[in-house]
Amino acid sequence: KNEVEQSPQNLTAQEEEFITINCSYSVGISALHWLQQHPGGGIVSLFMLSSGKKKHGRLIATINIQEKHSSLHITASHPRDSAVYICAVFTGNQFYFGTGTSLTVIP
Partner 1 sequence: KAGVTQTPRYLIKTRGQQVTLSCSPISGHRSVSWYQQTPGQGLQFLFEYFSETQRNKGNFPGRFSGRQFSNSRSEMNVSTLELGDSALYLCASRSTQGAWGYTFGSGTRLTVV
Q: Is residue 39 at the binding interface for partner 1, with CB under 8 A as the rule?
A: no
Q: What share of the chain is helix, strand, coil (3-state, %, to 5)?
A: 5, 60, 35
For the CA atoms of 10, 15, 16, 19, the dihedral, rounded to the nearest 10 degrees, stands at 0
22 binds partner 1, rule: CB under 8 A? no
Contact (CB, 8 A) for 79 and 107: yes
State yes or no: residue 88 binds partner 1 (CB under 8 A): yes
Binders of partner 1: how many residues, by CB under 8 A?
19
Residue 1 near partner 1 by CB under 8 A? no
Asked if 93 is part of the footprint of partner 1 (rule: CB under 8 A), the reply reads: yes
Piece of 16-24, 38-46, 51-59, 64-72 that binds partner 1 (CB under 8 A) = 38-46
Question: Nearer to partner 1 by C-beta: 9 or 75?
Answer: 9
Residues 6+ apart with CB under 8 A from 13: 19, 77, 103, 104, 105, 106
Q: Is 45 in the site for partner 1 (CB under 8 A)?
A: yes
Question: Which of residues 98, 101, 103, 105 is near partner 1 by CB under 8 A?
Answer: 98
* Contact between residue 4 and residue 85 where contact means Cβ atoms under 8 Å apart: no
